[in-house]
Amino acid sequence: MIARLTRRDDGAAMLITIVVGSALVLVTTIMLMRGVTQLGSTAADGRWDGALDTAESGLDLALQHLEIEPAWGTGEEPPSFTSPAEERAWAIAAARARPASEVIEVPGGEAVVVKPDGISYVYAVGFRPSRDAEPVSVRAVRVGYVLHEVEYIVEHALLVGDDMIFTGSALVNDTNGNEGAAVHVNGEVTFGGAADIEGCLSSSSSTLGGDVNCPASPTAPEPLPDLDPLVMYPFAHYVLCGGSAFGGPAHDTAPDPDETPCNGNETVVLVAGWASTPKSGVYEWKTTSSSAAEGVVYIHHGNFVGKLGDSSSDPMDVTIVLSAIGDGTCTGLPSGNLELAGNSNFETHPSIEAAGYDIAIVAQGDVDMEGNVEVDGMIMLQEQIDDRGNADQWGAVVAVGACHTTGSPVVESTMTGNSSINYPGPLPTPFLSTELQAEITEWFEL
């Protein structure tokens, strides 16, 4: 067709070219404008979606705070709302009114938590990109929650609630070969030897370097158990009160009828190979032979000083529980202490294992171990531990370090010599954690 054009048709061809070109430019412009508009909408959508993620991050931190400090709040008193929109406006205004020090920075945005006092609600407001930005996308969430007590699970080979000293060639070993035998000290940690720890070492007070697998210290304090020895009393075969022995709740023929130690309702029983001596106002118990009676032994407001089992024979099947006169407050006469003599050799009683726990020692005071000692089972104590010589422990060690009773055998927790802790992994306990667990009962976006 182009070949048949004459000179008179040249103007028409040029007109067609201009019209088509203009149409293409118009289409391109429209597409660019739509693209720019779409890009802006996509960015706004991204901020809107991200603001909800930011609010959720603030909510997670708030619930963690409440687990540690249940009475925590930010002080607001919300009015009676007539609509969700009114509640949303109040929550956002309250979040904007919180000081800058309470703004939680998260990747891409900021969150603010509003926790009214006296009610089980938490508001979390997410701002993208920030609280003071313009434009800003804002999402507000309200959740209801309840706090539960939970049983404490030991997740460290060694956990110390106050200060700890390592000297000598102490070993903390992961029996699974996974380098997971972690040690945490809520107080100061001091080294005076070549301790070998097959896991992360952390402290909440000391400055320690980290690596790819282990965080640098100081880190947040680890929660500790509420180490109430009465939790173990239902398992007791024998309860030793003052200088006498009685049947505990788990005794075969003379069980304690009301499961309350030493209130006068127990039945006197014979406990072969166990004897006591009054010392400084507190009864001190010991075993008198390597064939002493086995079981779960509960020593009420007393101490144990001596051997349990013998390294020259099979381990003694015994779990020993000691309560203190001060009931864990480090007051009164020194009691609830275990001073374990050299060549002791014992393991968790099978009845405790049958209940799902591997606990050999619970002391509401101190634990002092000297010489060649072998303990197969977890060691849990309220005050301090002195782990020295060639003590060999199979299981975790938890020293709450709540306080120090004047005159008790150990002042500061120490691991010295060639002592070792052999950790098999997380271990359940019947004790309650001092940290509660939050459960969300309702979730609502305003």
Question: pLDDT grade, residue 91 (50/70/90)?
Answer: very high
Query: Domain check: are 76 and 190 in the same one?
Result: no
Among 148, 182, 213, residue at a domain's last position: 148
Rounded Cα distance, 124 and 115, in Å: 9
The answer to whether 134 touches 383, Cβ cutoff 8 Å, is no
Task: Determine the pLDDT at residue 438.
Answer: 95
The answer to whether 401 touches 185, Cβ cutoff 8 Å, is no
Residues 6+ apart with CB under 8 A from 256: 236, 239, 246, 247, 248, 249, 265, 266, 267
Task: Determine the pLDDT at residue 230.
Answer: 97
Provide mean pLDDT across the span 93-121: 95
- Per-residue model confidence as pLDDT tens digits over 279-301: 999 999 999 998 999 999 999 99
Query: Domain check: are 117 and 164 in the same one?
Result: no
Query: Domain check: are 269 and 314 in the same one?
Result: yes
- Per-residue model confidence as pLDDT tens digits over 152-161: 999 999 999 9
Rounded Cα distance, 188 and 210, in Å: 16
Q: What is the mean pLDDT of the chain?
A: 91
Q: How many CB atoms lie within 10 A of CB 105?
A: 11
Query: Domain check: are 312 and 375 in the same one?
Result: yes
Rounded Cα distance, 253 and 267, in Å: 10
184 pLDDT more than 80:
yes
Among 148, 173, 191, residue at a domain's last position: 148
Query: Domain check: are 180 and 296 in the same one?
Result: yes
Task: Determine the pLDDT at residue 37.
Answer: 42
104 pLDDT more than 90:
yes
Query: Domain check: are 116 and 250 in the same one?
Result: no
Question: pLDDT grade, residue 3 (50/70/90)?
Answer: very low
Q: Which residue range is the domain that position 139 belongs to?
A: 46-148
Rounded Cα distance, 158 and 147, in Å: 28
More confident residue, 168 or 136: 136
The answer to whether 417 touches 168, Cβ cutoff 8 Å, is yes
Query: Would you say residue 438 lies in a domain?
Result: no
Provide mean pLDDT across the span 407-423: 94
In the block, tokens 């024979």 appear at 313
Query: Would you say residue 23 lies in a domain?
Result: no
Domain count, the chain: 2
Query: Domain check: are 97 and 204 in the same one?
Result: no
Provide mean pLDDT across the span 369-385: 95
Query: Domain check: are 210 and 264 in the same one?
Result: yes
Query: Domain check: are 171 and 306 in the same one?
Result: yes
Residue 160 sits at φ, ψ, to 5 deg, of -125, 130
Query: Would you say residue 308 lies in a domain?
Result: yes
34 pLDDT more than 90:
no
- Per-residue model confidence as pLDDT tens digits over 398-409: 999 999 999 999
- Per-residue model confidence as pLDDT tens digits over 325-344: 999 999 999 999 999 999 99
Q: Kind of pairing, strands 420-423 and 437-445? A: unpaired
Question: pLDDT grade, residue 21 (50/70/90)?
Answer: low
- Per-residue model confidence as pLDDT tens digits over 347-373: 999 999 999 999 999 999 999 998 899
Query: Would you say residue 65 lies in a domain?
Result: yes
Task: Determine the pLDDT at residue 136.
Answer: 96
Query: Would you say residue 252 lies in a domain?
Result: yes
Among 148, 170, 192, residue at a domain's last position: 148
27 pLDDT more than 60:
no
Task: Determine the pLDDT at residue 5.
Answer: 44
Query: Would you say residue 50 lies in a domain?
Result: yes
Task: Determine the pLDDT at residue 212.
Answer: 85
Query: Domain check: are 120 and 208 in the same one?
Result: no
Residues 6+ apart with CB under 8 A from 361: 319, 320, 321, 338, 367, 375, 377, 378, 379, 380, 381
Query: Domain check: are 258 and 242 in the same one?
Result: yes
Beta bridge partner(s), residue 109: 106
Q: State the sign of the Cα–Cα–Cα–Cα dihedral 330, 336, 342, 346.
A: negative
Question: pLDDT grade, residue 40 (50/70/90)?
Answer: very low
Query: Would you say residue 18 lies in a domain?
Result: no
Query: Would you say residue 295 lies in a domain?
Result: yes
Rounded Cα distance, 47 and 42, in Å: 9
Query: Domain check: are 168 and 255 in the same one?
Result: yes
Provide mean pLDDT across the span 387-414: 95
